[in-house]
Structure 1
Amino acid sequence: MTTWVCLCNITPMPFLIVLILLIVFGPNLWVKHVLRKHQKHIESLDGTGSELALHLIERFELDGVEVIKGKVDEDYYDPKNKVVCLSPEVHDGQSLTAVAVAAHEVGHAIQFYKQEPVSRLREKYLSKAHAIKHYGMMFLMASPILGLVFRLPHLTLLTIVIGVITMVVSVLMYVAVLPEEFDASFNKAMPILEEGYITEEQLPKVRQILRACAMTYVAGAMADMLNLWRWIRFIR
């Protein structure tokens, strides 16, 4: 005897929750997976990430730019202080991830040193993203007190709407910086590394790493949306 199942009785909520989790955490997990996947030490490479960064700074005559060792997963270029910060696994590592990330960050240094238009995207949009997130989180923290003092109707709904708008706008601001990130990866780092710093067989792996580097900001912003859920649960 065949048992028929009515699909209308199956709640879509678990699938919706899984979909939301994939959207929020998927990009960040993918970026970390790619970077860790290619951290294996390769003896044939000419040096570590920091040594490559110093070499490229000298080669492109980026006067005043320094290389420092940062904390775990702390890879960035600080245009204000002219500092290429590399995480320990990149700074001291002799791997495809190390050389690709180092070249990507030096790519940012080249953008700012040459004052290319794409280098202005970070200043224009990231500062706004930080401000929006800051004020949005301040409202979420203050909303319980506002509700008690002013007896605001539908406060929970208002809080959720403002929280969602805050995080969505913040993510969109990070998306707006993508052209700068892709330029550092594929108009700067990739052509440099193709000149002989890596082998022909290593190019597809390095291309994947550089794509992950370009997506780091957006992936981090998506993961930040977890804070929204925590505050909404706290307020409720």
Structure 2
Amino acid sequence: MWVLLLVLFVLLAFGPSLWVRYTLKRYAYNRDDFPGTGGQFAQHLIDKFELQVRVEKTRQGKDHYDTVDKTVRLSPSYYDGKSLTAITVAAHEVGHAIQYEKQEKITRLRMRYLPLAHFLKKTGSFVLFGWPVVTALLQIPYAVPLHIFAVGVTGVASVLVYVVILPEELDASFRKALPILVEGGYIEKQDITAANKILKACAYTYIATALVNMIFIWRWLKR
């Protein structure tokens, strides 16, 4: 039983990330039929939807929409690349920009609960890693229940982060990016399935990460 749980944990922890990397890399080759790069496509969409947003490069693998600076940030390979992955990721990040520019309800979930989740995570981490030092310095008994509670709070907060982010990610992928790509005629019919895989792979990473954190909490509660 424990061996099966260990195998399941490993698959949940590493399987999705490997699948995402494989999927993104599979469609990351440059294509001559795309008239522009991912960065140019992002700028085109920003102009089309009249968004007050910028586009710039970021570190590889750190693609995101910065809600504070109002900036779509793309990896160098996507910013300068003319691949299906580059175009799809660019559309996804612009999808986030559309969400926040229009102040859609989907963004309120993040704005309302994400700060709380980060606070709980930091508090739990402080108790988890800082309390043993405090007890040693002050020479007071170490409270095991407090340690377990801190692990639980940190784990729950980690899960909450992904629960809050996931609806927004799904919306940016399948209610923004995919319709834009298909209805706008930016990709051919034979590319729709691949684009859907790219968007689905990225979204499912959040689900898998949340599951890993839930397993982590369950393991501690069983002690």
1:171-230 C-alpha deviation (Å, 9 max, x unpaired): 13312322211111111111110021111000000011111233454556667x5xx89x
- Report whether the alignment pairs 1:196 with 2:196: no
Please report how far the alpha carbon of residue 160 of structure 1 lies from its aligned counterpart in structure 2 after TM superposition.
Answer: 4.0
- Asked if structure 1 preserves the Cα contact closer than 8 Å seen for 2:84 and 2:195, the reply is yes
- Is the Cα–Cα contact under 8 Å of residues 35 and 97 in structure 1 kept in the other structure? yes
RMSD value, Cα: 2.3
| Unaligned segments of structure 1, at least 5 residues | 1-11
For residues 206 and 5 of structure 2, the distance between their equivalents in structure 1, rounded to whole angstroms, comes to 25
- C-alpha offsets along residues 44-64 of structure 1, whole Å, 9 cap, x if unaligned? 11211101000000011112x
C-alpha distance 27-36 of structure 1, shift in aligned 2 (>3 A): same
Q: Which of 142, 159, 168 lines up with 1:171 in the alignment?
A: 159
Q: Indicate yes or no: 2:30 matched with 1:38.
A: no
TM-score (norm 2): 0.85
State the distance in 2 between where 1:120 and 1:107 align: 16
Aligned mates of 1:36, 1:128 — CA distance in 2: 35
What letter corresponds to residue 141 of structure 2 in structure 1? R
Is contact 1:42-1:94 (8 Å) kept?
yes
SS at match of 1:150: coil
Structure 2: distance between partners of 1:23 and 1:203: 27
Q: How many residues align?
A: 213
Any residues of structure 2 matched to 1:68-217 within 5 Å, and which? 68-148=56-136, 149-153=139-143, 155=144, 158-194=146-182, 195-217=184-206
Q: Which moved more, 1:205-214 or 1:122-131?
A: 122-131
Rg larger in structure: 1
Q: Distance in 2 between matches of 1:75 and 1:46?
A: 22
What is the Cα deviation at residue 104 of structure 1? 0.4
Instruction: Name the structure 1 match of 2:42.
Output: 53
The gaps in structure 2 that reach 5 residues or longer are none
Q: % of aligned pairs identical?
A: 46
Q: Corresponding residue for 1:21?
A: 10
C-alpha displacement of 1:17: 1.4
Moved more, 168-177 or 193-202: 168-177
User: Residue 27 of structure 2 contacts residue 85 of structure 2 at CA under 8 Å; is this kept in 1?
Assistant: yes
Divergent runs of 4+, >4 A: 216-223
The SS at the match of 2:51 is coil
Change (3 A) 1:111 1:91: same
Quick one: which amino acid aligns to residue 19 of structure 1?
L
